[in-house]
Amino acid sequence: MKPRQGPGPTEQKLFNRLGLNLKNITEDVSGLKLPEIVLERLDEAFICARSEIILAQNAQDRSYVLCGADSGGSNGEFGHVVGFAPSTNFPEIQRESFNNVIPNRTHSFAISNELVRFEVYRSSHTYSVGMALFSIPLNSQTRPAISRRDLFLYVNGKIERDDSLPIFRATTGEQIQVPTLLCVNVQTMVEASRCNWCVHSHANKLGPVLVRPT
C-alpha cells in the first residue's frame, strides 16, 4: 500500500489557478524507503506525507518548475512529515497555502527550479531524517530531466536528555552530528513530526540550504 501520488481534484484547481500544467509526477522517491508495513500503518492512521516531486509547465511562458507538497503530521504515537526548503542557489521559492480541513495531509505547495526536501519519520521517540536536492535548469522550455542528489540520511536517532535534535549514532556507537547549518531546519521538521492532527505548514519556517557543488 502506498500513499496517494499526485494532486487530487481540489489541488488540481490550485495548479490551474496558478497557470501550471502538470507534466510528470515522480514515484517511489522517498529517501527513507519506509517498509510496506510502516506505510500501511501510516495509511491506517490517515497520515499522508507526500515525497513525490511534480514537474509542471507554466502555461504563459512555457518554462518548467518543480513543485513539492509540504505535508503530513502525527497521531501522537508516530508521525511522518515532508517539507521543502529553498537552496541558496534559488533562495526565494513560491509557497502556496492549501486550505485542507483534513489533518495530517497536504498543507502547502513549494514551487521553484530547485527544492531541498526534508523528510522525517518518527516512531515514539525514535527518528529517521532524510534530505535530498531536486533541481532543473532555469527557464527551460523543453522538458528537462529532474536531477536528484541525496544529501544525507540518518536513521534510528533518539532525543536524549533535553536535546532538541535526535542523537544519531554510527554502528560503532560514535555520535553522528547533524551539520550545524542544517540544525534549525532539521529541528523544525522534527517538531512537525510531533504535531498531532496537523493542519498547518511547518515548512514555511525552513531557511535556505547551502548546497555545495559536487
Query: What pLDDT, in 10s, does the model give residues 86-145?
Result: 999 989 899 998 877 889 999 999 999 999 999 999 999 999 999 999 999 988 888 999
Rounded to an integer, what distance in angstroms lies between the CA atom of residue 67 and that of residue 156?
A: 29
Alpha-carbon distance of 51 to 195, in angstroms, equals 18
Q: Which helix (H) or strand (E) holds 41?
A: helix 36-44
pLDDT at 154 over 50: yes
In the chain, pLDDT over 90 holds for what percent of residues?
A: 57
From its phi and psi, is residue 169 left (phi > 0), alpha (psi between -120 and 50) or beta? beta
Per-residue confidence at 7, pLDDT binned at 50, 70, 90? low
22-76 pLDDT tens trace? 877 665 466 788 999 999 999 999 999 999 899 999 988 899 999 999 999 999 9
Statement: residue 214 has pLDDT above 80: no
- Give Dmax (Cα) for the chain: 55
69 alpha-carbon distance from chain centroid? 7
- The answer to whether 56 and 65 are in contact (CB under 8 A) is yes
pLDDT for the residue 164? 78
**What residue type is assigned to position 32 of the chain?**
L
pLDDT for the residue numbered 33: 86
Residues 6 or more apart in contact with residue 118 via CB below 8 angstroms: 82, 83, 84, 85, 129, 130, 131, 185, 186, 189, 203, 206
Q: Average pLDDT of 197-206?
A: 94
Contact 84, 206 (CB under 8 A): yes
Q: What confidence score (pLDDT) does residue 1 get?
A: 36
All three cell numbers of 46, joined, read 490517515
Query: Which segments within the chain are labelled E, that is strand?
Result: 20-25, 53-58, 64-74, 78-85, 94-97, 106-112, 114-123, 126-135, 147-158, 168-169, 175-176
Q: Is residue 157 within 8 Å of 168, Cβ to Cβ? A: yes
DSSP 158: E
